[in-house]
Amino acid sequence: MMGGLCYMVDDKMCIGVVKNNLMARIDPDIYEEALTKKGCKEMDFTGRSMKGFVFVEPRGVDLDEDLDYWVELCLDFNPLAKSSKIK
């Protein structure tokens, strides 16, 4: 996964780590709100942002409740996410 570690849930990318950042797959409907959270920034590998995916810097997950917040967002969206499973 793009040079990082990814955790899959139900055969779908859910959450991961890229370099020192948490990578979170969240509901695109709350994307803009998520970007206002401490340490959150757009995820862009190709020069354009990937809506529904964000990076969270270490300062945004330094407390257990901060990490729990991001994990919950990822797990809440997972049942709605589309799988990119090869057929």
The neighbour count for residue 2, using CB atoms within 10 Å, is 10
One of 1.10.3720.10, 3.30.750.24, 2.40.50.180, 3.90.1150.30 is the CATH number of 5-80, namely 3.90.1150.30
Model's pTM, two decimal places?
Answer: 0.88
Buried b (16+ CB within 10 A) or exposed e, 38-74: ebbeebeeeeeeeebbbbbeeebbeeeebeebbbebb
pLDDT for res 10: 93
- Over the chain (87 residues), the average pLDDT of each successive run of 10 is 82 93 96 96 84 95 97 97 74
pLDDT for res 29: 96
pLDDT for res 1: 47
For the chain, the domains span 5-80
